Amino acid sequence: MKKTAFITGCTGQDGALLSAYLLGKGYYVHGLKRRSSSPNTERVDHLYQATQVKDRRFFLHYGDMTDATNLLRLLNEVRPDEIYNLAAQSHVHVSFETPEYTANVDAMGPLRLLEALRILKLDAKLYQASTSELYGNSGPCPQSETTPFAPCSPYATAKLYAYWITLNYRQAYGLHASNGILFNHESPLRAQTFVTRKITQEVAKIYHGTSDCLYLGNLNAKRDWGHAQDAIEGMWRIVQQAQPGDYVLATGQSHTVRSFVELAFSHIDIPIIWEGEGLHELGRHAHTGKVHIRIDPRYFRPNEVHHLCGDASKARRELGWSPRIRFEELVAEMMKADIEKGLRGACAP
């Protein structure tokens, strides 16, 4: 029998990729979408259209993680086999500006889902989108499932509550509820306010002559950047386990923002040299001397996580999961997509 999945955050990067992945496996997919005054379903519109005529398996429902009765009603109607809770105010920097809202969505949202499962006595498996941000600057790299958590932002603190409440409900009520502790994962669908997509989009504009300078914050932060498609497969494998659990999904390699910038510019044949320090640091075209990167203090965070790099040994061992797409391939794919979008005169999402 075909399985049914309920995906919160289905209009985001991961939600769109997961929807396509599960539809490809024959699932019925029900996604939660927020009411918005401008379109917010671009990432999934093609899936909706493709499954409307003969094979109606993709459904979108209005809802919000802050609305418990909405979630309760939808879960009662849909009665899914699997729930993927991907919805979140997912921007770390923005969480310093909207800490209460972030807590409401990212901490209380998962609690609302868990309570709905308990109240409805639904026998569904739940995936909670946990994050490497939980580690903060807590200790040595690489970080694994046993590394202590030390969240450094309202986002990470809210996600810490979500992590523990998921584990608590698993232990207290026997729910099949799992945490995927995912390190940064990107794709051409990544929103433009995250650093990787911001870089590839601006470098593509520089290539097309519609921009000449990229403004960034901390160039020295290091992240374990993987491909979102690999992350999606890991999420699904976590949910298929006979027993619930908590798993790190990561590549095990980290790179600085600076090296991401250099690699992106290399795709348009611009070698970058760096000059100066701190706020006065510049990135110049090594041959023409033209300034292409400047520092803007607006992009510094009140508290920064310096280095994230994950150890996914447990996922390799128990899920048979390992990332397939290398960092260089990820950057190449994102650059190609943004250059092509520029040729078509499109830029979002």
Distance CA 250, CA 266 (A): 25
For position 129 contacting ligand NAP by CB under 6 A, the verdict is: yes
Cα 64 from chain centroid (whole Å): 18
- Identity of the residue, 90 or 251, whose beta carbon is nearer to ligand NAP in the bound complex: 90
Q: Is 131 a catalytic residue?
A: yes
Size of the site for ligand GDD (CB under 6 A): 22
Pick the binder of ligand NAP from 4, 5, 6, 15 (CB under 6 A): 15
Kindly indicate which of the ranges 83-91, 145-153, 212-220, 312-320 contains the residues binding ligand NAP, using the contact rule CB under 6 A: 83-91
Q: Which residues of 312-334 are buried (b: 16+ CB within 10 A; e: fewer)?
A: bebbeeebebebebebeebbbbb
Which amino acid is present at 66? Answer: T
Q: What is the DSSP letter of 324?
A: -
Strand order in the sheet with 214-216: 214-216, 291-295, 282-285, 272-275
Q: What is the DSSP letter of 143?
A: B
For position 13 contacting ligand NAP by CB under 6 A, the verdict is: yes
135 pairs with which residues across the strands? none
Which amino acid is present at 63? Answer: G
For position 251 contacting ligand NAP by CB under 6 A, the verdict is: no
Kindly indicate which of the ranges 42-50, 103-111, 171-179, 298-306 contains the residues binding ligand GDD, using the contact rule CB under 6 A: 298-306
CB of residue 13 to ligand GDD, shortest distance in Å: 8
CB of residue 250 to ligand NAP, shortest distance in Å: 10
For position 57 contacting ligand GDD by CB under 6 A, the verdict is: no
Kindly indicate which of the ranges 20-28, 179-187, 251-259, 308-316 contains the residues binding ligand NAP, using the contact rule CB under 6 A: 179-187
Q: Which two tokens stand for residue 133?
A: 């941000």
Residue 220's closest CA among 275, 264, 185, 260? 260
Q: Which residues of 139-155 are buried (b: 16+ CB within 10 A; e: fewer)?
A: eebbbbbebebebbbbb
For position 281 contacting ligand GDD by CB under 6 A, the verdict is: no
For position 322 contacting ligand GDD by CB under 6 A, the verdict is: no
Size of the site for ligand NAP (CB under 6 A): 26
Pick the binder of ligand NAP from 4, 14, 179, 244 (CB under 6 A): 14
**Positions marked catalytic:** 131, 133, 155
